[in-house]
């Protein structure tokens, strides 16, 4: 039997996998899969990995394909392993404040399910309505509320993972504390499907949040906005969200019909009663819908793109710097945008120094693509020069693989390559992503 026939013995399979060829990242090549496997159980995932090993065919795990680093892009002749069919919430345990779920559960679905028990799952990516828990774990996703509640990896207590060849391994624990053995759970967080395929997660929960209040504060310059962020942190406040939008982004939101000046802006949200103190410290106007304004960025960019010729594309960058360098990075991005002749608006999570420059360009204009790609490289270089990192939450994938070698210590990079070879000696799991091996 051929590959597709053998796969079909234990799992639903599609051929003609063009719709599954790539995630949401530009600048990244994508191949054509030989087949798309659509499992609905752990046994079916194991079958796919067993067949892959027997035929020597690469496997590319995928979630909702909302990733922005090319980490879910197919390679020619691979089996795409779509995990969206494993979408059950298996357990919600209020007494121990944990949940177990399969990787295809969306972030929003998990949040709503645990809220019915008076609990809260804090990781909050902007794409929460569609992105999946498995994808969030695989990429080490962050979100809007990281400044207070941390990132996805902070909530992963344990995992079930199918390794290359089909072996199932369980890592981690259900207890609040636990230091028995090496922390294999954390090793899989952010590994982007290169070490194994996550099929179940045990996640920590928190009590429901208190009443949420919001604040909108605008400033005359990026430097003033950066100083306000520093002042909030220095005063000991921990807002649940501390978001920044530059003048270009705010101008685009204003053009949607909102009363907002085209000026650097902080969007603050608190669920602990500290908002009046923060307002006294940095000024601003109280609003009940602070983060909803932040979520208007996508339609605001869409309006600009609607007026662009050709096939307009929005590329959302991801770079993190020390909070003290936020203003410097924003200024550097403005200089890069002017030199490239591109619209680049910067937004992001000011509370943890993670910014997302949004580059708009026409994908069918080779000159514009080249300028956008060069601008991306300059932004990456600026982040590293300012003491930062090439990714705060989107992952490495294909897009930043070469940049990873510029950031990491050479000895640390070689250790990571060694781990990849240990877990995946035949190099069949998501090949070419994250590391050159």
Kindly write down the DSSP assignment for every residue of 200-234, as one continuous string: EEEEE-EEPP---EEEEEE-SSHHHHHHHHHHHHH
CB-based contact 181:172 (threshold 8 Å) = no
Q: Work out the pLDDT band at 86, boundaries 50, 70, 90.
A: very high
Angle at 409 between CA 404 and CA 415, to 5 degrees: 85
pLDDT(294) > 90:
no
For 222-253, what is each residue's pLDDT tens digit?
999 999 999 999 999 999 999 999 999 999 99
Q: Work out the pLDDT band at 16, boundaries 50, 70, 90.
A: confident
pLDDT(90) > 90:
yes
pLDDT of 292 reads 82
Distances (CA, A) of 167 to 46, 197, 245, 340: 7, 10, 46, 49
Describe the strand order of the beta sheet including 98-101 as a list of residue ranges: 89-93, 98-101, 197-204, 156-162, 168-172
Higher pLDDT, 436 or 80: 80
Compute the distance between CA of residue 409 and CA of residue 411 in angstroms, rounded to an integer.
6
* Terminal Cα-to-Cα distance of the chain (whole angstroms): 31
CB-based contact 352:320 (threshold 8 Å) = yes
CB-based contact 18:80 (threshold 8 Å) = no
CB-based contact 60:173 (threshold 8 Å) = no
pLDDT(30) > 80:
yes
Contacts by 87-95 with C-beta closer than 8 Å and gap 24+? 87/132, 89/113, 90/200, 92/117, 92/119, 92/205, 94/118, 94/119
How many CA within 13 A on the CB side of residue 210?
11
CB-based contact 119:42 (threshold 8 Å) = no
Compute the distance between CA of residue 21 and CA of residue 81 in angstroms, rounded to an integer.
11
- What sections of 235-365 are H helices per DSSP? 247-254, 275-282, 290-294, 297-306, 326-340
For 37-70, what is each residue's pLDDT tens digit?
999 999 999 999 999 999 999 999 999 999 999 9
Compute the distance between CA of residue 47 and CA of residue 53 in angstroms, rounded to an integer.
10
Compute the distance between CA of residue 109 and CA of residue 131 in angstroms, rounded to an integer.
10
CB-based contact 258:296 (threshold 8 Å) = yes
pTM as predicted: 0.94
What is the rounded average pLDDT for all residues in the chain? 95
**What is the sign, positive or negative, of the torsion defined by CA atoms of 401, 403, 407, 411?**
positive
pLDDT(1) > 80:
no
Percent of the chain with pLDDT over 90: 93
pLDDT(328) > 90:
yes
Beta strand 35-37 pairing with 79-82: parallel
């Amino acid at each position: 039997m051929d590959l597709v026939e053998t796969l079909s013995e234990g799992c639903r399979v599609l051929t003609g996998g063009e719709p599954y060829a790539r995630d949401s990242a530009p600048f990244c090549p994508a191949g054509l899969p030989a087949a798309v496997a659509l499992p609905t159980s752990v046994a079916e995932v194991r079958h796919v990995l067993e067949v892959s090993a027997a035929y020597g065919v690469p496997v590319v795990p995928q979630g909702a394909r909302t990733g922005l680093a090319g980490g879910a892009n197919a390679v020619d002749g691979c089996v795409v392993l779509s995990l969206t069919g494993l979408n059950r919430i298996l357990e919600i345990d209020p007494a121990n404040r944990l949940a177990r779920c399969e990787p295809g559960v969306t972030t929003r679905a998990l949040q709503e399910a645990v809220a019915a028990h008076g609990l809260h799952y804090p990781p909050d990516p902007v794409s929460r309505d569609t992105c999946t828990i498995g994808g969030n774990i695989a990429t080490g996703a962050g979100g809007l509320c990281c400044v207070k509640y941390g990132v996805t990896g902070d909530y992963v207590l344990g995992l079930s993972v199918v390794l290359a060849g089909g072996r199932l391994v369980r890592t981690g624990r259900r207890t609040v504390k636990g230091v028995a053995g090496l922390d294999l759970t954390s090793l899989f967080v952010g590994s982007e499907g290169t070490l194994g395929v996550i099929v179940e997660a045990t996640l920590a929960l928190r009590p429901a949040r208190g009443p949420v209040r919001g604040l909108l504060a605008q400033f005359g310059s990026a430097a003033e906005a950066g100083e306000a962020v520093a002042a909030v942190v220095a005063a000991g406040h921990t807002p649940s969200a501390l978001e920044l939008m530059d003048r270009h982004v705010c101008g685009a939101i204003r053009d949607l019909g909102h009363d907002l000046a085209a000026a650097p802006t902080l969007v603050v949200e608190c669920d602990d009663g500290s908002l009046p103190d923060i307002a006294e410290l940095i000024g601003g106007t109280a609003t009940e819908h602070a983060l909803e304004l932040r979520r208007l960025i996508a339609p605001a960019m869409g309006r600009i793109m609607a007026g662009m010729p050709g096939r307009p594309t929005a590329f959302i960058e991801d770079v993190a710097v020390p909070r003290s360098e936020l203003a410097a990075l924003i200024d550097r991005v403005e200089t890069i945008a002017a030199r490239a002749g591109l619209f680049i608006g910067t937004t992001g999570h000011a509370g943890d120094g993670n910014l997302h420059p949004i580059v708009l360009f026409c994908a069918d204009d080779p000159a514009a693509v080249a300028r956008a790609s060069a601008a991306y490289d300059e932004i990456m270089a600026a982040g590293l020069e300012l003491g930062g990192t090439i990714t705060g939450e989107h992952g490495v994938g294909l897009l930043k693989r070469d940049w990873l070698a510029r950031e990491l210590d050479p000895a640390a990079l070689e250790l990571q390559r060694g781990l990849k070879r240990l877990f995946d000696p035949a190099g069949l799991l998501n090949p070419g992503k994250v590391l050159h091996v």
